[in-house]
Amino acid sequence: MKKIFILIGITSVLLIIIAAILIGKNMVGTQMTFSAKDAYELERFPFEKTIIRQPSESNVLIKDIFQQAKEGKVPAISVIAGESSLDEIIGQWGEPDNSITAGDGVYIDYADVTFGYRENIVFDVRSSADNITRIHFEDITKFMGEADEQRYFKDDSVDQIILVYQVNDVYQLKWILPRPTDADPNPMVHHISVYTDPTKLAEKEPSLLETMTLDEKIGQMIMAGIEGTTPTPETINLIEDYKVGGIIFFSDNLTSYSQSLHFINGLKRINAVNKVPLFLSVDQEGGRVRRLPGLEELPTNKDIGLRNDPELSYRIGNILAQELKAFGMNVNYSPVIDVNSNPDNPVIGDRAFGDDPNLVSKLGIQTMKGMEDENIIPVIKHFPGHGDTSVDSHLELPRIDKSLHELHEIELVPFIKAIDAGAEVVMVAHILFSQLDSEYPSSMSKPIITDLLRKELGFEGVIVTDDMMMDAIENHYEAGEAAVQSVKAGNDIILISEHYEEIVESFEAIKSAVESGEISEDRIDESVQRILDLKDKYEIHHEQVEYQDLQAINDRIEDVLQ
């Protein structure tokens, strides 16, 4: 009798398996017409990865993939569909692992990246990077909505779906996944593809970057401080002759609201002859660091940290952004996300939210988002962390003797979390981290900027130096020398707060370094494209700023103080 029950049990299991197989076959459905290119795109990655991913991480990554796709790129790859050439790829990546002709052109493989090209121009950029292949089908559809088109492909080895999103007039973003089934209704991504029609490449107009001269490009990489409360001849030269990409304002430039508005509108009129509008930037942190006249003082970050109120932190960021908008500015060097771990720190102090890296992360990110939501560009600072110094970098070069592991435990925590939350600009401090780079301070250090910030932490936005006129730099380097080394280290923008002659010296030194081959023009192009993309995203423009009543902003500040 026992053997009979065992036999019945085995038979039942077999019947269930057979039924599941038959149901799976019935789910296949009708196949759509497919090109050879699409077939290759599916055959390129025949095996699934099965790593679990947190939904919140997926949303951040999907948003980044979508934003990059609008520019013809995939995350972590500088190649641009419709713009980059085969020669550039071979020069950077070497010979491909594999090459095949299919459909629209030739496809070449490099590890987890594939490029499709035609007549030397890339039209398709694909990635199967580990973080991308952890995204699930439902993550995509919930975040991006229904696809503009669904395609299907099946052969002996794969049965897959392609979700096609037309992200703009030029680019499609394709998500390629196993077809959902009852057994696996929420599969993970095989790879993504950012695609532009190769038949239209010849019709495409040159990008803004392609129309720019070397002088115009280098100018975009300089954030210049100016003297006076009206445009001086030197200021006009910086804009008209050196094409500087931005201006930083201090209290000496801004005596009243009406004067400030007149001054800023005057600078915008002068710059209107240039191709690219200006970054107009300021340190408006709240508390003791503020530059804009006619406004009530906001609480310090320390006060906000003591209240441990993320909603308050968001409201502060929102108000700071409204202050800048009223003055016609678009970049704020805030929030400070240094962890104030050294009570003897002479420069950070109450500018920090506190000495707990998780508290600093939580509140700093909310201040950042409060500004972003008002279309003001926040700058998180001072990477990789100024909280454990006992020297003011305005007066001398601080030194911190910590390992990378120690920095990961405290100083780097807020920066990593802010980058994950979508930070778009990072300011680098003037500090000598001897265990990371014994020769150059962080603002001039390739190991810290390129190796740590770019490669290890994956930051793809704009990197700006702290003020190069601070004594930490000025006491040790000539202006031109410091500017060249800062570009070689990986900075996109060199901030020079004063001295017309030293701004010009920095410009000329970078130009000479490019002309001599010390810095490649491709390296300049990388930075300028990031700057142009940021200006485009935040809709920076030449238009004049209209007068506003500051009382409405002051009323909001009073509400916060209560």
Residue tagged 């036999």 (tokens)? 7
Report d(CA 197, CA 201) in Å as an integer.
7
Of 38, 283, 388, 466, the catalytic one is 466
Q: How far apart are CA 94 and CA 282, in angstroms?
A: 43
Note the pLDDT of residue 21. 44
Q: Mind listing the pLDDT tens digit for each residue in 230-267? A: 999 999 999 999 999 999 999 999 999 999 999 999 99
CA atoms within 13 A on the CB side of 305: 25
* 315, 374 contact by CB (below 8 A): no
Q: Are 326 and 312 in contact (CB under 8 A)?
A: no
| pLDDT of amino acid 437 | 96
Distance, CA of 319 to CA of 374 (rounded, Å): 9
CA gap 420, 76 in Å, rounded: 14
- pTM for the full predicted model: 0.68
Phi, psi angles (nearest 5°) of residue 437: -155, 110
| Residues pairing with 141 in the sheet | none
Q: How far apart, in Å, are the Cα atoms of 508 and each of 218, 241, 275, 469, 514? A: 9, 12, 21, 17, 10
Active-site hit among 394, 476, 525, 536: 394
CA nearest to 428, candidates 486, 388, 346: 486
Write down the pLDDT at residue 392: 59
Q: Is 394 a catalytic residue?
A: yes
Structure letter (DSSP) for residue 450: I
* 378, containing H or E segment: strand 377-378
Report helix, strand or coil for 72. coil
- Asked if 178 and 48 count as a contact pair (C-beta separation under 8 A), the reply is yes
Spatial distance between the Cα atoms of 307 and 303, rounded to a whole number of angstroms = 7
Cβ contact 226:247 at 8 Å = yes
Query: Do residues 449 and 428 touch, judged by C-beta distance below 8 A?
Result: yes
User: CA torsion angle for 273, 538, 531, 453 (degrees, to 10)?
Assistant: 160
Grouping H, G, I as helix, E, B as strand and the rest as coil, residue 251 is: helix
* DSSP strand pairing (380-383 vs 121-127): unpaired
* Domains of the chain and any CATH numbers: 36-203 (no CATH), 223-555 (3.20.20.300)
User: How many other CB atoms sit within 10 Å of the CB of residue 288?
Assistant: 10
Please report, in tens digits, the pLDDT of each residue of the chain (562 residues total): 444 444 445 455 454 444 444 444 443 333 444 444 555 545 444 433 333 334 457 889 999 999 999 999 999 999 999 999 998 999 888 999 999 998 789 999 999 999 999 988 999 999 999 999 999 999 999 999 999 999 998 888 899 999 999 999 899 999 999 999 999 999 999 999 999 998 876 666 788 999 999 999 999 999 999 999 999 999 999 999 999 999 999 999 999 999 999 999 999 999 999 999 999 999 999 999 999 999 999 999 999 999 999 999 999 999 999 999 999 999 999 999 999 988 776 678 899 999 999 999 999 999 999 999 999 999 999 999 987 665 556 667 888 899 999 999 999 999 999 999 999 999 999 999 999 999 999 999 999 999 999 999 999 999 999 999 998 898 999 999 999 999 999 999 999 999 999 999 999 999 999 999 999 999 999 999 999 999 999 999 999 999 999 999 999 999 988 8
DSSP 498: S
Cα atoms found within 13 Å of the Cα of residue 193, Cβ hemisphere only? 26
Check residue 1 and give its pLDDT: 46
Determine the pLDDT at residue 345: 66
The amino acid at 165: Y
Q: Would you call 432 helix, strand, or coil by DSSP?
A: strand
Q: Is residue 353 within 8 Å of residue 359, measured between CB atoms?
A: yes
